[in-house]
């Protein structure tokens, strides 16, 4: 989609980066946002329908495929689906075993969910940027941003989930008192430095999910912007840049999913450790 002038190019980019937002608008009440302006005015009480829809669809795809593989799983010779699924499961299991030094059996499934889900969501990026916005435009939806991981809400949402698990396991393993002690008496074990320790540790704790979410978001968003910019080139030149960038993104997509998963395991492992 070649842009004729600068204004339309900016419009095109902004249009592709706007989520389909449903929320409580001060004037229009509960409605779909017709513009980026309206979406902003909705404030916190709004939801990105495209992000939620696509992420849940990918999550269900993961659950469905892996559940199916689990149902047909035999201890004998595995079929194609089972083979592929087992490869992923084994990869996550090894990753967990090498990173997590506890006996918690839930860490590996958590990591599997994170990895496959993020991988699937990231992979949506390989789909040409215009297909779904055009299709949903025909169906009457103004905006459609199909890659959930380019929405900061989605990545921070998952990071928040990981953060809650860090808190849960910290308290479960060390007890509320032990966790409070860890926050207040490390790194300097002296009563007079408790406030200093608290500030340091709480910042350290909160930085974990934020860095986790923003790293994934930043990488995916930047990649998406480049895809949109490439789509602005004349149609005969698009493939020249688009194909290498897409191939490069096969790496980025899996690498980012891997990093998010590994760091989550590392954080959860730290939550299990006593000082």
Partner 1 sequence: MNINMTLIGQTIAFAIFVWFCIKYVWPPISNALHERQKKIADGLDAASRASRDLEVAQEKAEQTLRESKEQASQILEQANKRSAQIVEEARDQARAEGERLVASARSEIEQEVNRAKEDLRAQVSHLAIIGAERVLEASVDEQAHRKLLDELAAEL
Residues of this chain that bind partner 1 (CB under 8 A) = 19, 21, 23, 39-40, 42-48, 51-52, 55-56, 59, 62-63, 66-67, 69-71, 73-76, 78, 82, 85-86, 89-90, 93, 106, 108-110, 112-113, 117, 148, 151-154, 156-158, 160-161, 164
d(CA 170, CA 182): 10
The single residue of 219, 254, 264, 269 carrying the catalytic annotation is 219
CB of 180 to partner 1, least distance (A): 24
User: Which residue number, 40 or 275, has a Cβ lying nearer to partner 1?
Assistant: 40
The single residue of 83, 94, 189, 211 carrying the catalytic annotation is 211
Q: Position of tokens 């900016």? A: 10
CB of 162 to partner 1, least distance (A): 8
Catalytic residue list contains 215: yes
Judge whether 52 and 71 are in contact, CB under 8 Å: no
H or E segment at 200? Answer: helix 194-231
Whats the size of the chain, residue-wise?
275
- Compute how many other C-beta atoms are within 10 angstroms of the C-beta atom of residue 13: 16
User: Which residue number, 63 or 206, has a Cβ lying nearer to partner 1?
Assistant: 63
Inter-helix orientation angle 152-185/49-72, to 10°: 80
CB of 87 to partner 1, least distance (A): 10
Helices (H), 20-140: 36-41, 49-72, 80-99, 107-123, 131-138
CB of 43 to partner 1, least distance (A): 7
Catalytic residues, by residue number, are: 211, 215, 219
């Amino acid at each position: 989609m070649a842009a004729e002038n600068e204004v339309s190019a900016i419009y095109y980019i902004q249009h592709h980066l706007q989520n389909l937002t449903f929320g409580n608008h001060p004037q229009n009440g509960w409605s779909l946002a017709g513009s980026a302006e309206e979406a902003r005015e909705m404030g916190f009480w709004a939801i990105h329908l495209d992000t939620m829809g696509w992420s849940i669809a990918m999550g269900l795809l993961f659950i469905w495929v892996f559940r199916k593989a689990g149902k047909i799983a035999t201890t004998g010779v595995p079929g194609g689906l089972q083979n592929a699924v087992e490869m992923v499961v084994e990869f996550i299991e090894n990753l967990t075993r090498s990173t997590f030094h506890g006996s918690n059996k839930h860490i590996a499934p958590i990591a599997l969910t994170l990895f496959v889900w993020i991988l699937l969501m990231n992979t949506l990026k390989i789909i040409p940027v215009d297909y779904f916005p055009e299709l949903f435009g025909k169906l009457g939806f103004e905006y459609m941003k199909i890659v959930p991981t380019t929405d900061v809400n989605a990545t921070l949402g998952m990071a928040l989930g990981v953060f809650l698990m860090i808190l849960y396991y910290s308290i479960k393993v060390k007890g509320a008192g032990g966790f409070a002690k860890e926050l207040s008496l490390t790194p300097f074990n002296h009563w007079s430095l408790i406030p200093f320790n608290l500030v340091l540790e709480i910042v350290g704790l909160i930085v974990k999910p934020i860095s986790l979410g923003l790293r994934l978001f930043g990488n995916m968003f930047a990649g998406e912007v480049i895809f949109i910019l490439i789509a602005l080139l004349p149609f005969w030149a698009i493939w020249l840049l688009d194909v290498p960038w897409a191939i490069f993104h096969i790496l980025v997509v899996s690498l980012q999913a891997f990093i998010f998963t590994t760091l989550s395991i590392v954080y959860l492992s730290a939550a299990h450790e006593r000082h």
